[in-house]
């Protein structure tokens, strides 16, 4: 709509003190002089206009020098005149800000995805990387603290003959050495609510309950269970799971702004360790590695499968109601038995 550098801006003219507008055009000459059409009334220079900040595509009412107003949706023309006669950057602050909302929403969507990806992939990966760097004092300390807490609340002193527990410890020590692990020990306990159970803490401390030993499995079966637990220690499964839990707690605290509670996340570590519900992947790894350790020891790698079958059989009998404990931490027993048998072939 320009002729020789002049501009015509279509809109609606509101005379001073009148709410009734009429269609009009604002003619802007090449040097910025204004004329209202129809009528041809001179309205001074562009620089005499009050031009509100642009808000997206919303029409603006330009304040005329005579107290009237000129409403137009031709923001491009208004911005061009502002640039030409007042040296303003197109749009102005608010428009630029509004433009940034698009970027802000995109950034927010990106952040949302990052957080999701972080939870799903990043935290397990981070936990796996951090786990080897945790100081031994922290690993041993939190493991001992966990056992002490379990001793206070759930476990009771073992009633097994001392020689039986010592023999199991000797087996564990051989398997751990085979896995290249130093430290660690076996503790026998009456399981109480834990029933027939065996679990490893990150320091290499393995606990087996009297109830498990009393299920009647032979030495190879118990060795298979210990090999499985040693594998959990070797792969740092407990530590990684605990770190994942802590990082999730910390992440959730950061997201919700509940930082006051985030400080205590490390304090929850022993509690998380006591949870010890391994992921299915961790169980498969421990089964496979346990079978390999058994084979390396010259023992039957299928012994763990037999122990699992025995546990499951016991779990079905009402007279051993506590038996499912180890199974509940080790789901899909039949699938695991089949996998171990296949590995051992
Ligand atoms: Zn396990």
The pLDDT tens digits for 278-290 are 778 888 999 999 9
Is 223 domain-assigned? Answer: yes
Ligand 1 centre distance from Cα of residue 203 (Å) = 15
Are residues 102 and 147 located together in one domain of the fold? no
Ligand 1 centre distance from Cα of residue 105 (Å) = 44
pLDDT at 291: 95
Tell me the DSSP string of 192-257. Answer: GGG-S-EEE-TTSEEEEEHHHHTT---HHHHHHHHHHHHHHHHTTHHHHHHHHHHHHHHHHHHHHT
Closest CA to 47 of 90, 88, 1, 94: 88
Are residues 122 and 49 located together in one domain of the fold? no
pLDDT at 124: 77
Domain that holds residue 18: 7-90
**Is-contact 282 329, C-beta < 8 A?**
no
Ligand 1 centre distance from Cα of residue 306 (Å) = 15
Is 1 domain-assigned? Answer: no
pLDDT band of 260, cuts 50, 70, 90: low
Residues 6+ apart with CB under 8 A from 74: 9, 10, 11
Are residues 188 and 308 located together in one domain of the fold? yes
35-44, 74-83, 108-117, 252-261 — which is least confidently predicted? 252-261
Sheet holding 205-209, edge to edge: 156-157, 185-190, 205-209, 198-200
The yes-or-no verdict on residue 192 having pLDDT over 70 is: yes
Is 281 domain-assigned? Answer: yes
Ligand 1 centre distance from Cα of residue 174 (Å) = 19
Measure the N-to-C terminal CA separation of the chain; round to a whole number of Å.
86
Ligand 1 centre distance from Cα of residue 232 (Å) = 7
**Is-contact 304 228, C-beta < 8 A?**
yes
- The number of folded domains in the chain is 3
pLDDT band of 228, cuts 50, 70, 90: very high
70, 90, 110 - which closes a domain: 90
The yes-or-no verdict on residue 272 having pLDDT over 50 is: no
Ligand 1 centre distance from Cα of residue 281 (Å) = 10
The yes-or-no verdict on residue 3 having pLDDT over 60 is: no
Is 2 domain-assigned? Answer: no
The strand pairing partners of 209, in sequence order, are 189
72, 105, 133 - which closes a domain: 133
The yes-or-no verdict on residue 275 having pLDDT over 50 is: no
Ligand 1 centre distance from Cα of residue 337 (Å) = 13
Ligand 1 centre distance from Cα of residue 248 (Å) = 22
pLDDT band of 276, cuts 50, 70, 90: low
**Over residues 14-42, mean pLDDT:** 88
The pLDDT tens digits for 289-330 are 999 999 999 999 999 999 988 888 887 765 554 444 455 555
pLDDT at 334: 82
Ligand 1 centre distance from Cα of residue 122 (Å) = 23
pLDDT at 121: 67
Ligand 1 centre distance from Cα of residue 287 (Å) = 7
Is 246 domain-assigned? Answer: yes
Ligand 1 centre distance from Cα of residue 82 (Å) = 72
Are residues 99 and 168 located together in one domain of the fold? no
**Over residues 85-108, mean pLDDT:** 65
Ligand 1 centre distance from Cα of residue 334 (Å) = 14
pLDDT at 289: 96
CA triplet 185, 193, 174: central angle to 5 degrees? 20
Q: Which has more confidence, 25 or 137?
A: 25
Are residues 117 and 145 located together in one domain of the fold? no
Are residues 113 and 152 located together in one domain of the fold? no
Are residues 272 and 157 located together in one domain of the fold? yes
Burial label for 274, CB within 10 Å (0-12, 13-18, 19+), is middle
The pLDDT tens digits for 40-67 are 888 889 888 888 887 777 888 888 888 8
Mean pLDDT across the chain: 81
**Is-contact 212 323, C-beta < 8 A?**
no
Are residues 310 and 260 located together in one domain of the fold? yes
The strand pairing partners of 13, in sequence order, are 22, 70
Bridge-based pairing state of the strands 185-190 and 205-209: parallel
Ligand 1 centre distance from Cα of residue 172 (Å) = 15
90, 105, 120 - which closes a domain: 90
pLDDT at 267: 47
pLDDT at 287: 93
Are residues 143 and 167 located together in one domain of the fold? yes
**Is-contact 210 159, C-beta < 8 A?**
yes
The pLDDT tens digits for 145-174 are 889 988 998 899 999 999 999 999 999 999
Tell me the DSSP string of 158-194. Answer: --S-HHHHHHHHHHHHHHHHHTT--S-EEEEEE-GGG
Are residues 226 and 278 located together in one domain of the fold? yes
Q: Which has more confidence, 46 or 275?
A: 46
Locate all alpha helices (DSSP H) within 118-135, ordered by sequence: 123-130
Return the structure tokens found at 14: 């509101």
Tell me the DSSP string of 280-336. Answer: HHHHHHHHHHHHHHHHHTTS-TTHHHHHHHHHHHHHHSTT-TTTHHHHHHS--HHHH
**Is-contact 80 7, C-beta < 8 A?**
yes
Q: Which has more confidence, 119 or 213?
A: 213
**Over residues 122-149, mean pLDDT:** 82
Ligand 1 centre distance from Cα of residue 12 (Å) = 78
Q: Which has more confidence, 202 or 245?
A: 202
Are residues 319 and 270 located together in one domain of the fold? yes
pLDDT band of 204, cuts 50, 70, 90: very high
**Over residues 16-24, mean pLDDT:** 84
Are residues 163 and 203 located together in one domain of the fold? yes
| Secondary structure (3-state) at 54 | coil
Ligand 1 centre distance from Cα of residue 135 (Å) = 24
């Amino acid at each position: 709509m320009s002729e020789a550098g002049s501009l015509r801006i279509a809109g609606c003219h509101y005379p001073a003190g009148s709410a009734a507008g009429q269609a009009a055009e604002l003619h802007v000459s090449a040097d910025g002089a204004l004329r209202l059409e129809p009528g041809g009334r001179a309205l001074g220079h562009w620089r005499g206009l009050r031009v509100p900040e642009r808000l997206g595509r919303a029409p603006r009412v330009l304040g005329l020098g005579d107290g009237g107003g000129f409403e137009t949706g031709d923001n491009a023309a208004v911005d061009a005149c502002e640039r030409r006669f007042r040296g303003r950057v197109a749009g102005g602050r608010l428009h630029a800000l509004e433009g940034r909302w698009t970027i802000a929403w995109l950034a927010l969507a990106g952040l949302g995805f990052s957080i999701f990806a972080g939870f799903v992939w990043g935290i397990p990966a981070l936990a796996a990387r951090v786990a080897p760097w945790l100081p031994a004092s922290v690993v041993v300390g939190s493991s001992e603290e966990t056992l002490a807490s379990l001793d206070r609340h759930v476990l009771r002193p073992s009633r097994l003959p001392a020689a039986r527990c010592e023999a199991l410890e000797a087996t564990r020590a051989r398997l751990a050495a085979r896995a290249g692990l130093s430290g660690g020990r076996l503790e026998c306990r009456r399981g109480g609510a834990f029933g027939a159970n065996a679990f490893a803490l990150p320091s290499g401390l393995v606990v087996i309950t009297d109830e498990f030993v009393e299920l009647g499995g032979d030495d190879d079966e118990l060795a298979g269970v210990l090999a499985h637990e040693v594998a959990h220690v070797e792969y740092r499964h407990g530590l990684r799971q605990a770190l994942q839990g802590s990082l999730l707690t910390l992440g959730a605290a950061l997201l919700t702004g509940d930082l006051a509670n985030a400080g205590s996340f490390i304090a929850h570590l022993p509690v998380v360790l006591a949870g010890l519900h391994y992921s299915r992947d961790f169980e498969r790894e421990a089964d496979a590695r346990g079978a390999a350790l058994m084979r390396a020891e010259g023992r039957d790698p299928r012994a763990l499968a037999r122990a699992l079958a025995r546990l499951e059989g016991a779990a079905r009998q009402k007279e051993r109601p506590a038996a499912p404990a180890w199974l509940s931490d080790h789901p899909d027993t039949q699938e695991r038995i089949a996998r171990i048998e296949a590995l051992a072939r």
